[in-house]
């Protein structure tokens, strides 16, 4: 495995890792519909605001979301419009393996 490929793998894994958390995945799904400020997401998720803020920071550092300050509030939005495809892919992965997974974990 050459180091170019390893570098790409690291970046890709980083993107996946950023979304590989229920709260963060929820955030991404919601931002795919519309932009939201931190307090909105906080009440939706039902966790501490500092926790949500850190999740957003992870997504931001992975290049998935962007933030914009308007007044005293910070609004987050998806940085890339192509995430919808990824959702579909994950969904289809689930559909493909859902039954087998259910059987496997019985």
Partner DNA sequence: TGGCAATTTGGCGTAATCGCCAAATGCTGT
Partner DNA sequence: ACAGCATTTGGCGATTACGCCAAATTGCCA
Residues that bind DNA (CB under 7 A): 17, 20-21, 23, 37-39, 42, 47-51, 53-58, 67, 69, 71-74
Q: Which of 16, 15, 41, 39 is nearest to 27 (CA)?
A: 41
Placement of tokens 């950023």 in the chain: 18
- Report what 69 binds from a copy of itself, DNA, none; CB cut-off 5-8 Å by kind: DNA
Interface residue with a copy of itself among 49, 51, 57, 63 (CB under 8 A) is 63
Query: Per the structure block, which two tokens stand in for 17?
Result: 């890792």
CA 4/CA 13 separation, integer angstroms: 14
Token code pair at residue 5:
């490929």
Piece of the chain touching a copy of itself by CB under 8 A; list 38-46, 49-57, 67-75: 38-46
32 binds, among DNA, a copy of itself, none (CB under 5 to 8 A by kind): none
């Amino acid at each position: 495995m050459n180091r170019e490929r390893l570098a790409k793998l690291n970046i890709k894994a980083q993107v996946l890792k950023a979304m590989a958390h229920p709260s963060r995945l929820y955030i991404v799904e919601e931002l795919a519909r519309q932009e939201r400020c931190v307090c909105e997401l906080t009440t939706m998720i039902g966790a501490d605001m500092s926790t949500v803020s850190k999740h957003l920071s992870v997504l931001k550092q992975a290049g998935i979301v962007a933030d914009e300050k308007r007044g005293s509030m910070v609004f987050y939005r998806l940085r890339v419009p192509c995430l919808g495809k990824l959702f579909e892919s994950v969904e289809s992965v689930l559909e493909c393996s859902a039954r087998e997974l259910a059987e496997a974990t019985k």
